[in-house]
Amino acid sequence: MIEPLRSQYLAALGIENYVPRFILPGAKLSEPCEWFAAPIETANSVEVRSEISVVEQAREAKSPSDTIQRTPIIESAAKRPLRPSENSETRAPSSQSELVANSKPEPQFALSIVLAAGGILLIDAAPGSNAERTAFQKLLSNMLPALRPAAAQYVLDSFIWPLTRQPKIPRDAEAAKETLSAYLNKQIKQRAIDVVLLLGEAAQQWCVFESDVHVIKSSSLLACAQDPALKRPLWNDIRHLAEG
């Protein structure tokens, strides 16, 4: 913007211009500003001059409230429509509860997948340490052959969510159930599984089956390793498999 229009515009806004009192050593000389030889009668210049006159009158007001009421720039700002960021309907969440409600949780869990011969699929929480893993495998070696002799041979796998090697897959709870369900139903068809043991809360929460299989829900084997009193209720839930 060319002088003096720039100075008049800033003065109308109440902004003071900075003018250096001396030239700094080694500083480059400032280039002279281009000035209008004569005032240009345009809609913008007329509006600026009217704003300047109003601001000069506002400076003579006795209270700040008079200045606000007489400045057309502030009045026009008050009348202009709100931007989307200023609109109360599109405001950002103001409380922690709103942030939690708007965010989708990303569950994290690990399950042990036991594929035993004889058509048995056992799902339980994954051991968190070597000691838990040893106790878990010991209980498996004692329980599975008691149900079906062929089940003494089994493969111990694990399912860990989220899938770190598949970053493009969504990580919400629904995606976790769908991914796990696809994996389990594939194993059921390939290995002719007819009995599924869902042991513990984690297995019962995340496992969904499309195949027509016999599902038995009971206590976790890991919990039985920590509390031997839970072994009897677990055996009562599955002992009919041995009798059949």
DSSP string, 181-238: HHHHHHHHHHHT--EEEEESHHHHHH----S--EEEEE--HHHHHH-GGGHHHHHHHH
- β 120-125/195-199 pair status: parallel
Asked whether the predicted pLDDT for residue 230 surpasses 50, the reply is: yes
Q: What are phi and psi of 173, to 5 degrees?
A: -65, -40
Alpha carbons 100 and 105: distance in angstroms, whole number:
9
Where do the structural domains in the chain lie, given as residue ranges?
5-76, 109-243
DSSP character for 25? T
pLDDT in tens, 129-178: 999 999 999 999 999 999 999 999 999 999 999 998 888 889 999 999 99
Alpha carbons 121 and 113: distance in angstroms, whole number:
7
User: How many other β-carbons are positioned within 10 Å of the β-carbon of residue 221?
Assistant: 27
Q: Is 165 exposed, middle or buried (0-12, 13-18, 19+ CB in 10 A)?
A: exposed
Residue 11's pLDDT is: 80
Assign 83 a pLDDT band (cuts: 50, 70, 90). very low
Tokens 């009158």, residue located = 57
Alpha carbons 150 and 118: distance in angstroms, whole number:
5
Alpha carbons 175 and 191: distance in angstroms, whole number:
24
pLDDT in tens, 85-133: 444 444 555 555 544 444 667 899 999 999 999 999 999 999 999 999 9
Token readout for 240 is 């009919």
Token readout for 10 is 């800033």
Q: How many CA atoms lie within 13 A of 169 on its CB side?
A: 16
CA distances from 186 to 38, 126, 137, 176, 180 (A): 86, 20, 24, 16, 10
Q: What are phi and psi of 187, to 5 degrees?
A: -65, -35
Residue 215's pLDDT is: 95
C-alpha of 144 from chain center = 41
pLDDT in tens, 212-228: 899 999 999 999 999 99
Q: Which residues make Cβ contacts (< 8 Å) with residue 65, sequence separation at least 6?
A: none
Asked whether the predicted pLDDT for residue 81 surpasses 60, the reply is: no
Q: Which residues make Cβ contacts (< 8 Å) with residue 99, sequence separation at least 6?
A: 93
Q: Bigger pLDDT: 42 or 157?
A: 157
